[in-house]
Amino acid sequence: GAGVSQSPSNKVTEKGKDVELRCDPISGHTALYWYRQSLGQGLEFLIYFQGNSAPDKSGLPSDRFSAERTGGSVSTLTIQRTQQEDSAVYLCASSRVRGQETQYFGPGTRLLVL
Amino acid sequence: KQEVTQIPAALSVPEGENLVLNCSFTDSAIYNLQWFRQDPGKGLTSLLLIQSSQREQTSGRLNASLDKSSGRSTLYIAASQPGDSATYLCAVTINFNKFYFGSGTKLNVKP
């Protein structure tokens, strides 16, 4: 079956603009995760959704970052007033049950803020 | 805060060698530990998932062990091949919903 998909694959934006990144999880997966990987850094957890429960936003680096998940499926990560330090690869993953099962990752969105 | 460390940061070996990648974590109260590989320009591929109650998992030429008490996991790759060249990441899950990743080991297997 189809894996996790993300769009766009690449995004170049100007400092101060807002961007939206999209994630389509594997069908039937109730858990969805967002991470980012900055150049030379390890993966950083951002936010986690489990079904229709309120998300765990503890990893979001600032209030410019927000995410939503509509209908328990597609998720959008929004970065407002982008800064150059937001440049990174943003990865989405999904799993069938929170924390208990293998996470399947999408190919990522490479964001460059000029 | 949980810290996950991977050693070495980079490793280059000739084809056919057996090798071990190391992952250590500071807080032993983990829920599970997962090993991934990351190929350039691609997303992560899950290799092995070890629950906290388990000691090891095997898949093909890969074997991962977990020692919670010492805060260590190892990924053993047998008979390495050039196609194994990638960055290998370990990640621990805390309390179902907190995830911490190491910075990875970049492996190069030379033909």
Residue range B32-38: mean pLDDT, rounded: 90
Cα distances (angstroms) measured from residue A49 to each of A2, A60, A86, A98, B1 = 20, 13, 22, 9, 21
Looking at residue A1, its pLDDT comes to 52
Give residue-wise pLDDT tens across range B47-98. 998 988 999 999 999 999 999 999 999 999 999 999 999 999 999 988 766 7
Query: Hey, are the CB atoms on A105 and B49 less than 8 Å from each other?
Result: no
Q: How many residues does chain B have?
A: 111
Residue of A10, A48, A89, A103 to mutate for B, most B C-beta atoms under 10 A: A103
Query: Hey, are the CB atoms on A99 and B104 less than 8 Å from each other?
Result: no
Sheet strands side by side (includes A65-69): A5-7, A19-24, A75-79, A65-69
**What's phi and psi for A71, nearest 5 deg?**
60, 25
Looking at residue A100, its pLDDT comes to 56
| Contact by Cβ (8 Å): A15, A82 | yes
Looking at residue B54, its pLDDT comes to 92
Q: How many residues does chain A have?
A: 114
**Contact with chain A for residue B91, Cβ under 8 A:** yes
Give residue-wise pLDDT tens across range A73-83. 899 999 999 99
